[in-house]
Each structure stands twice: as structure tokens, then as C-alpha cells.
Copies of this chain bind each other. A is one copy, B any other.
Amino acid sequence: MPAEFTMKRCVQFAETDMAGVLHFSNYFRYMEEIEHAFWRSLGLTVYLREGDPHLSWPRVSASCEYAAPLHFEDELEMKLRVTKVGDKSLQYEVEFRRNGQRVAMGKIAAVCCVTQPGSFAATTIPKEIRSRLDRGPLPSPQPSP
């Protein structure tokens, strides 16, 4: 049951818009932040600066459903769950909660790629990464209380 990860995040001023709420595009940035924190928690990084070709995870799709607006200084609890580990791809979802209430739900599908600046070539997920991710079917998301 390991491929689950939680993180807190405070909504910043520059992330709001003139409607007074977190801009809807920023949820996708938050999803990526928790993804990267998740990789770090596994001792991995999504990107290696030195050396030439290396792994990254370009997105094939991303989506978010918004249930309630978020405001400046709101404290979020985010939960990432890996929902599918394919041969060369990965899917995860991120639940956004505030005070225990779900306020948004996002999904990302990404492909494992050997990456050079500006270009990507899909590759099989390395065993070492798979072994950290692929520990049996993951529990389906708990319904929001």
C-alpha cells in the first residue's frame, strides 16, 4: 500500500486571480509539486541536471474537477495516489482537501521518457523505479466524508 503520499500546501497571493480565488491552472502546478515531493520521498528525482539523456515524465493528459474555490492562505491537504503503473506509463490522482472536505480532484497520466532538452523518447520504466511504485493493486480512493 505504499504508493500514496500526502503534503500540505498554503495558497499564495500570486496564485490567486482577480476573482479572489486560486487560479484553476495552478491546481496543475500543485499536482506536479506533490508528484515531485513523492518522487523525492522514494529517493528519486524527476530530472537530473548533469549527464546527458536522463528520465523525465512528460504528461499525456491532465484533468481536474473543482468542487469549491480556494482562497489566499487556505491550508490544503493534498493526497497523491498512484492509480496505474504501465509498462512505460504512470497514472496518479491528487485529492485536494481543506478542513477535511474535498475541494478538488485531479488526474495526470505521464510517460517515462529518456529526455534531452526539448525532446522525449518513451522508455520502459526502469526496474528500480517500478519496484518502488508497483507494490500490488492500489486501493481505490476513499469517498470524501
A-side interface residues toward B, CB under 8 Å?
A: 12-14, 16-21, 23-26, 28-29, 32-33, 36, 40, 45-47, 49, 56, 58-66, 69, 71-73, 115, 117-120
* Given contact pairs A12-B29, A25-B32, A73 touches B45 in the complex (Cβ within 8 A): yes
Q: Which residues of B contact A16 (CB under 8 A)?
A: 17-18
Given A28-B25, A29-B25: A18 touches B62 (CB 8 Å cut-off): no
Assess the B21–A13 pair: CB atoms within 8 A.
Answer: no
As for how many copies of this chain the complex holds, the number is 4
Picked from B56, B59, B69, the residue with its CB within 8 Å of the CB of A58 is: B69
- Do A64 and B66 touch across chains, with their CB atoms under 8 A apart? no
Supply 11 further A-B pairs (C-beta < 8 A) apart from A18-B19, A19-B115.
A13-B32, A14-B23, A18-B118, A20-B49, A20-B118, A21-B118, A45-B72, A47-B72, A61-B66, A63-B64, A69-B118
Known: A60-B66, A61-B66, A117-B49. A17 touches B26 (CB 8 A): no
User: Across the interface, do B36 and A12 meet the contact criterion of CB distance under 8 Å?
Assistant: yes
Across the interface, A24 reaches (CB within 8 A) one of B18, B28, B45, B117, namely B28
Nearest-Cβ distance from residue A24 to partner chain B, whole angstroms: 5
Contacts of A62 in B (CB 8 A): 24-25, 63-64, 66
Contact A19/B69 with A13-B36, A59-B24 known, Cβ cut-off 8 Å: no
* Distance A26 CA – B29 CA, assembled complex (angstroms): 9
